[in-house]
């Protein structure tokens, strides 16, 4: 029996990109007893309210067509379950996607609290309820990939993320391993997910979204030059995964008992170059290929991997 049918479902980050798609997929399966947790701008209600900020307004649009039992602001949810673990009833499945996903975030204390401390609280609370805990880690934990990207390896200490976001995710993985929690939860590491409902992410939108918007609006594309001698301009690689495929994979792990205690890379298993992506989008839009290579900012050069794929490199 799927754990989805065993009780209420909690989705943190449920108004965001992958989270809203996940709630949509749950609705398609007939599940509506869902509690959605996220951050939205202050206001009386989110339904029909004029957006206070662009990002929050787009998040509201993400939620508008979805069916769920309750929306709770993330900070309120966190404080209330700290006082009373049963404040929102019991849950059969907890899908924890809520996090700061900005790879350029420099506030280490914020990331430590939001991505690490909060996740520790969530996993302890979920397991105490007997809920299945499916947690969204990140491919950013693999760093530049020099230590491999094997989701069956237990040598987590060998991984060295390139940015504070990746490190915050990695810190939880290390904590969970040290405290014997990895055997009790499901971890998924998303690679480069793209698709609908990305608009609120701003600069953190997927490269697929950014490439499409640039080409569609200007007829040209600006790509960062490679700063590595072993990689030509435009040959940087990423593993691109459509969001509907990503959520089908995540829900699979809610339905298979054998997946508990496992880590899974979620990607296509094949990396494609930025040039391949650009050519595909230029062709789909029906415009000639026009690419300008620009210098990558110094502060980003050591923070982004050149090659990143969910398969073995």
- Give the active site residues: 165, 201
Between CA 173 and CA 135, with CA 200 as vertex, the angle to 5 degrees is 20
d(Cα 299, Cα 276) in Å, to the nearest integer?
A: 26
108-115 long-range Cβ contacts below 8 angstroms, 24+ apart: 108/164, 111/164, 111/165, 111/167, 111/168, 112/168, 112/171, 114/168, 115/165, 115/168, 115/169, 115/171, 115/172
d(Cα 238, Cα 233) in Å, to the nearest integer?
A: 14
d(Cα 5, Cα 256) in Å, to the nearest integer?
A: 12
**H helix runs in 29-151, sequence order:** 54-63, 74-83, 108-111, 118-129
- CA 203 from centre of chain: 15
What length does the chain have?
313
d(Cα 117, Cα 169) in Å, to the nearest integer?
A: 10
Instruction: List the structure tokens of 214.
Output: 């640039």
d(Cα 174, Cα 195) in Å, to the nearest integer?
A: 30
3-state secondary structure of 229: coil
Q: Strands, DSSP E only, in 220-308?
A: 221-224, 237-238, 240-242, 262-266, 272-273, 291-294, 307-308
Among 271, 252, 253, 270, CA closest to 262: 253
- Provide the terminal-to-terminal Cα distance of the chain, rounded to the nearest Å: 37
- CA 256 from centre of chain: 21
């Amino acid at each position: 029996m799927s754990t989805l049918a065993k009780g209420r479902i909690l989705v943190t980050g449920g108004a965001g990109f992958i989270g809203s798609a996940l709630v949509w997929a749950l609705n398609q399966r007939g599940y509506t007893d869902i509690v959605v947790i996220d951050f939205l701008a202050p206001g009386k209600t989110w339904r029909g309210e004029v957006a206070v900020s662009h990002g929050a307004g787009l998040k509201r649009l993400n939620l508008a067509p979805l069916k769920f039992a309750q929306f709770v602001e993330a900070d309120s949810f966190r404080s209330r379950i700290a006082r009373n673990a049963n404040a929102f009833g019991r849950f059969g499945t907890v899908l924890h996607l809520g996090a700061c996903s900005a790879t350029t975030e420099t506030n280490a204390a914020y990331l430590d609290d939001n991505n690490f401390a909060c996740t520790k609280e969530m996993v302890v609370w979920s397991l105490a309820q007997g809920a299945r805990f499916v947690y969204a880690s990140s491919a950013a934990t693999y760093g530049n990939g020099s230590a491999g990207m094997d989701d069956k390896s237990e040598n987590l200490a060998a991984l060295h993320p390139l940015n504070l976001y990746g490190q915050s995710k990695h810190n939880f993985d290390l904590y969970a391993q040290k405290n014997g929690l990895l055997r009790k939860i499901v971890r998924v590491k998303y690679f480069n997910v793209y698709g609908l409902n990305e608009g609120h992410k701003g600069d953190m939108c997927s490269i697929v979204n950014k490439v499409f918007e640039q080409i569609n609006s200007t007829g040209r594309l600006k790509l960062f030059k490679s700063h590595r001698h072993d990689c030509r301009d435009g040959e940087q690689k990423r593993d691109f995964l459509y969001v509907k495929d990503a959520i089908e994979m995540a829900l699979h792990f809610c339905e298979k008992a054998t997946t508990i205690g496992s880590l899974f890379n979620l990607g296509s298993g094949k990396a494609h170059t930025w040039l391949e992506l650009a050519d595909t989008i230029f062709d789909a839009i029906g415009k000639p290929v026009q690419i300008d290579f620009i210098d990558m900012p110094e502060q980003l050069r050591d923070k982004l991997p050149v090659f990143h794929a969910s398969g073995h490199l």
